[in-house]
Structure 1
Amino acid sequence: MEFRDLKSQYNKYKTEIDSAIHKVLADANFIGGEEVAILEKRLSEYVGVKHCISCANGTEAMTLLMMAWGIKEGDAVFVPDFTFFSTGEVVSFVGATPIFVDVDKDTFNIDTIKLERAIVKVLNERKLTPKIIIPVDLFGLPADYIEIEKIAKKYNLKVLEDAAQGFGGSINGKKACSFGDAATTSFFPAKPLGCYGDGGAIFTNDDKLAELLNSLKVHGKGDNKYDNVRIGVNSRLDSIQAAILNVKLTAFINHELDDVNRVYKEYTEKLKDVVETPVIPEGYISSFAQYTIKLNNKQERDTLQSKLKGEGIPSMVYYVKPMHKQGAFSENKYEDKDFEVTNKLCDTVLSLPMHPYLNAEEISLIIEMIKHVFKTI
């Protein structure tokens, strides 16, 4: 059994994927080919924004925005404590200070009440200048952008939606990657929409920002790549990955998002009285990058994971260490008591196999095994 079954996906779309790759090989147009332009247009239309700027990966997508917005030493950027390292890394990379904020115990996303408290605290200390909020659409569920955007407006902050895991999610019909001043996503293979390597994209309705980003991602180019008007980076999505993503995007739209939500409903219906299952607020749709349950304590979580492994059922812990305890951020001082929810989640969450190609037999096996384990512990 696969945790995220890319093999079944490939076998289903083998003809289309192989054909798309072979076309790029035959055309020998490997960088910036028509496949990239087609993908960017399709992605912007799907999300509902004016511009999609593809790049090398999701981390660089956020880094490019840090550069475009001039974020630097002395600036404060607010980041959820329970997330992947890169969301805080891009802040420190440009010399700014990540301010970690505890998360909501039900949605796993940034706690908006604690977010505002953190902003006020930074303002009162007068050591840093608040600049950006980076909410993360964790495990596929969009963050609470209704409240986040109100807070951002109140304190004159930008919002960068980190939708690395969230592509395909929505709030009242408004798609992930369309919130805030700009949004980013990742095409890492295991993401809801993934390629066969690294890839990422930025989404925005800001014409000038899009123009600047298209320059920054190609060595700060001006009219052409040999006219360099600013210092930039080399961060491009290659044509083969774009060709693969064009095939996968069609599958994602046609059935994959619906299929992962079918699996979510099956899991939740059968497990809700056994473990704490994911909470999806009314009006929200998750793209379920992960299906994450909560156990009562670390021992119970670790026992369940071990028993599942013994039966050939893979599972993962996202995340074993909170951001504020990462050694890379040790020069910043954080109070452990400010992260009560995150600290507990790191000890109690477990993600089960989740992808559009889970069949009824596999789902039933996972559910019955979890029920069996809880009869013995």
Structure 2
Amino acid sequence: MARNDGTAGAAADGAGGAAKPGFDWLNWLARYGTLASLILLLVIFTIGRPSVFPTVGNFLNILNQVSILGIIALGLTVCLVMGLFDLSIAAMATLGGWLATVLVFRNGPQIDPYLAVLLVLAAATAIGVLNGTLVSYLGISAFIETLAMGSVITGVVLGLSKSRTILSGIPKEFLAIGQEYTLGIPNPVIAMLLVLLLLWAFLEHTQIGRNLYAIGGNQEAARLSGIAVKRYALIAMGISAACAALGGLVAAANLGAGRPQGVGETYLLNAFAAVFIGASTLRPGRFHILGTFVGVLLIGVINNGLSIMGVPTYWQYIVQGLLLILALFSASVLILRRR
């Protein structure tokens, strides 16, 4: 009996020892690696250029530089939450900027700038809803449909504009959206933060947002639970289109020009990069608004810091690509381990 008790005690001690696993570095890196990378870059650039990089002015400059990218990427996040790829955002951004300048043009309709913003957002939302309808009700692949829609939009804009850029006759009230400050903060930054707040509240604290996450997690299970799955594609793609158009509109106001081509393409790849980097932040494998914002900041800090350090531009692309690969790798490994 004594021997059996001792054996049982030893087994219990062994079981107790096994119940105390070591620190899971992979899990930590999957959740916080992106934030750690952002902090590390901030430290490196601060040490490298202490008189320039860690200043309030430069921080606002970084936010201003990524504001348009942020607006577009935050809207794209809503689509990707549901598992839909929206490749029309590049053309939509170009359309938003060009159409807004046409509406406020002094030799054109001369619509009030704020009314023009609403009209542009309404038109973009309608196109996004059309995207969602074709994808959801006709069963067309979102990847292919939005790629085709982007081509249609590009052709329409080039045809209506006759490939001419609007360079003058834009009222100051419209230009203020992209060039002026409010309480010391650039207006594009304020626009990005408002979009961030609204979409975060929408996805995290509304039933529609929770349903979008449910559909993205398992569409069939969501359908069986009573969620009208098809309708949500219209919502997600409408929001993505509106945010892309708003980003293009802010870009036009910032540049003081309505360009009929080449605007949105500048942000397309970086928007997807920011969202996927964000999917490895805090919630590995899940797209979410705060993660996307971290991804946008990371891209902005890399571009700004390397530029200040005098590093050649091509290193910006290399570093961004490496960070994206590492972020996706760590998140993928963690998801595989959970399975």
- TM-score, normalised to structure 2, is 0.29
Larger-gyration structure (1/2): 2
1 or 2 for the larger relative contact order (CA 8 Å, sep ≥6)? 2
Structure with more of its chain in strand, by fraction: 1
